[in-house]
Structure formats: C-alpha cells, structure tokens
Amino acid sequence: MPPTPHLLIPLAASHAEGCRQALHGLALPQLDRLLARLTPADQDVGSETDFVPPHERALARHLGLPADAPPWAAWQRQQTDPQDAQASAWAFISPCQWQAGANHVLLADPALLQLTAQESRALLDILAPWFAEDGITLLYDQPTRWLACGAPFAGLATASLQRVTGRDVSPWLPDKQRARALHRLHSEMQMLLYTHPFNDARATQGLPPVNAFWVHGAGALPQAPATSAEPEMPTSLLEAALREDWRAWAAAWQALDAGPVARLAAHVAKGGSARLTLCGERNAMAWHTAPRGLGRRIQSFLSPQRFASMREQL
C-alpha cells in the first residue's frame, strides 16, 4: 500500500504585524476546500522561545525522531553512512557572521556570506584542528553547513538556525554547563578569524567576514530510527518570513494553494487518504482523512473549517 500523502507547511501563519496585514483579503479556496473534508488529528502547543520550531517538531514526529531535540545531523549522516551515523553524536556547524550591537549580538543570515564550496572547504581546514582538540571532527556538507561528530554533541539541546537568524544570539546559545567546550571554541574562533588572511581576502572583495559559527541539529540517533518517507514540505513561506517579506509570503501562499494544496484536495475528493499539518511560530495543527458520521458531515456542510478561523491558533 502506498504511503499516505502528508503535506507539511511551515510558517503557514505568523503573529508578526506584517503577516497580519498580508492575511487581510488573502483567499485560499483550495485550502478551505481541503480542510472541509478533513478531520482534526492533533495539535502541538509550544512557544516562540522553543529551540525547535513547530515544523521541525512535526517533521521529527513523522520520521520517528525525538521532537524536543531532533538529531538532524545524525539523521542526515544516516542517509549516506548508516553505520557511521550510529557510532557517535553529530551536529551541524554553520559558519556565520555575528554582528555586534550596543546591547546584543545578531546572527546574520549565513546565505549573505556568499561562501563558495571552495572557500567553505578552505575555512573548514583552518578551523578543524581547533575543534579536533575537543574531540570534534568536521566534515564538509554544504558551503554554509558542515557535519561534526563527537561526544560534546550527545544530549545537547541546540536551537534551530531558523530560530536565531536575524536575532540576538544570547537566548539561543546552548547551556554553558553542558557546552563549555563549544562556548570556549566560540571565543577562540572569534579571536582567530578577526585578523585572519581568510577574512582579509573577503574584505578585498567587499564580502562580510566569517567570525563565528552556529551549532544546530545536535544529538545521537535513536537505536531504531524510523524509515518513513519524508512528507512534502514546501519552504517558500518560511523563506519569505525569514526575510520579513510579507508580500512575497502572501504570493507564496497563493502559489501553494494553486499547487500542492489543490492536488491534495483533489486527491481527497476522489476518496484518497491524506494528512495536512500547518505550522506557525508557536504551534502546529494536523488534520487527516477519517470516517465521519452523519452528524459530523452535516456540521462540516453547515459550518466548514476555514483557515481564517484557525490561523490565530498557529
């Protein structure tokens, strides 16, 4: 039997004022059509200060991973080397720029660094010996994301990069008692990179310096990680929200409504099973296809579920 289609949508709504304005007059007919045919499944209640955002918690549950601290790096490593993934705790290391202000330190979007693969590998070679002194091995993965393995990442709660991008890093740093080595490495890397030729070369090109790193997705895989197929998870809303481009966010919603949402609604209308999860910055809500009695069908007809009436709960 084929797996039940699952559409998981991050940042379906936000409490930001710009999003509230974008929602006025935003028509999503296919989403309302789909919701009218689905039954509420469960709700995940959290807060904006949780290290793990709702869409990552929902994805972790779907894959059978711990939702409070998904070991995303170990899960990623499992895709290419299952035996290696099980042998140690892993984390993602994202080279980034910390921008110091009067009373805060902001983490700029790593994409703004415009790191090439060659530059990223060169930077990794510069930093790897320092991490190795604390038993951490660095492996290249992407220009703004490396894999790291070592004992310091076991049981370590880390904040999602999406949570801290554009914000003060202080509330999102891992616990100092549990991550003394990483806090020390932060200080050492800032001193090392401040006058390093690597950043001198970037300055001549008008590029921002790399002066820090962010640890995220840390932990070890459970003994028997799930093998569920990944849900369809479009990121266009999330990307627009991180830029605080709410006009683009509204346009992305309309594109999703006409695309993946419309396809899922048509699938359900033909009698197919489906699951839908909508996530905000705090909470997530899920719906699925389930048998409905006459009373529920009448209620759905007279008072159908609509996105406008539930988006405040996300």
Residues 6+ apart with CB under 8 A from 312: 13
* DSSP 8-class letter at 61: H
Tell me what pLDDT residue 226 has.
59
**How far is Cα of residue 174 from the mean position of the Cα atoms in its chain?**
17
Please give the C-alpha separations between residue 40 and each of 6, 50, 162, 280, in angstroms, as whole numbers.
14, 24, 28, 16
- Judge if pTM exceeds 0.85: yes
Do residues 200 and 237 share a domain? no
Chain segment 270-307, per-residue pLDDT in tens? 999 999 999 999 999 999 998 655 445 545 554 567 88
Which strands form 212-219's sheet, in the order they lie side by side? 137-142, 145-149, 90-96, 212-219
Last residue of some domain: 219, 247, 264?
219
What's the rounded Cα separation, in Å, for the pair 211 and 188?
Answer: 10
Per-residue model confidence (pLDDT) at position 99: 94
Question: What pLDDT sits at residue 302?
Answer: 46
The pLDDT of residue 309: 80
The residue range of the domain holding 305 is 6-64+227-313
Q: Which residues contact 119 (CB under 8 A, 6 or more apart)?
A: 143
Six token digits for residue 294 = 């006459």
Intervals of the chain under pLDDT 50: 294-295, 298, 302
Nearest residue to 144 via CA among 173, 120, 162, 167: 120
241-275 confidence digits (pLDDT tens): 988 999 999 999 999 999 999 999 999 999 999 99
CA torsion through residues 100, 186, 189, 155, sign? negative
- Same domain for 167 and 258, yes or no, is no
Q: Is residue 246 part of a domain?
A: yes
Residues 38 and 76 in one domain: no
- Counting the structural domains of the chain, the total is 2
